[in-house]
Amino acid sequence: MQKRLALVGSPGSAFLNFRLSFIRLLVKRGVKVICVAPQFSDSEEQILRDSGAEVFNLGFARMSISIFEFGRVVFRLVKLFRSKNISHCVSFFHKPNILCGFACIICKGVKFVPIIEGLGTLFGKNKMLRFWLLRKLLIIGYRITLITAKRVVFLNQFDRTYFVERSIAPVERCELLGPIGVDLKKFNASGAEVENIGFVFAGRLLVSKGILIFQDAVNHLEALGRLSNVEIMVAGEIDENFDSISADQLNDIKSNKNISYLGHCSLSGVLRKGRILVLPTWYREGVPMVLQEAMASGLPVICTDWPGCRDITIDGYNGLLIPPQDSKALAKAMIFFLDDCTKVFEFGTNARLYAEQNLGSADKNDLLYNFVESS
Q: Exposed (0-12), middle (13-18) or buried (19+): which is 109, by Cβ within 10 Å?
A: exposed
How far apart CA 93 and CA 241 sit, in angstroms, is 14
Within 10 Å of residue 60's Cβ, how many Cβ atoms?
A: 22
Residue 357 confidence (pLDDT): 97
- Interatomic CA distance for residues 360 and 354, integer angstroms: 10
The residues that bridge with 199 in the sheet, in sequence order, are 232, 276
Residues in the chain: 375
pLDDT beyond 90 at 122: no
Tell me the average pLDDT across 56-82.
87
User: Confidence class of residue 62 from pLDDT cuts 50, 70 and 90?
Assistant: low
What Cα–Cα distance (Å) separates residue 128 from each residue in 21, 43, 84, 120? 38, 39, 42, 15
pTM, rounded to two decimals: 0.92
Average pLDDT in the chain:
93
Angle at 207 between CA 206 and CA 209, to 5 degrees: 65
- Across the strands, what pairs with 235? 202, 263
The yes-or-no verdict on residue 184 having pLDDT over 60 is yes
Domains of the chain: residue spans and CATH: 4-181+360-373 (3.40.50.2000), 198-358 (3.40.50.2000)
pLDDT score for 190: 64
Q: pLDDT tens digits for 7-24?
A: 999 999 999 999 999 999
CA-derived radius of gyration, the chain = 21
> What backbone phi and psi angles, to 5 degrees, belong to 170?
-70, 135
Instruction: Strand 231-235: give its sheet, edge to edge.
Output: 260-263, 231-235, 198-202, 275-279, 301-304, 319-322
What residues are paired with 321 via a beta bridge? 303
Encode pLDDT of 75-95 as tens digits: 999 999 999 999 999 999 999
Mean pLDDT, rounded, for 358-368: 96
Q: What pLDDT is stored for residue 153 in this prediction?
A: 98
| pLDDT at site 68 | 85
Tell me 246's DSSP state: P
The top-scoring range by mean pLDDT among 62-76, 232-246, 316-330 is 316-330
Q: Tens of pLDDT along 227-240?
A: 999 999 999 998 87
- Per cent of the chain over pLDDT 90 is 82
pLDDT at 183: 92
Share of the chain above pLDDT 70, in %: 96
Binned at pLDDT 50, 70 and 90, residue 193 comes out as: low
- Given a cut of 80, whether residue 63 has pLDDT beyond it is no
Overall average pLDDT of the 285-297 stretch: 95
pLDDT exceeds cutoff 70 at 194:
no
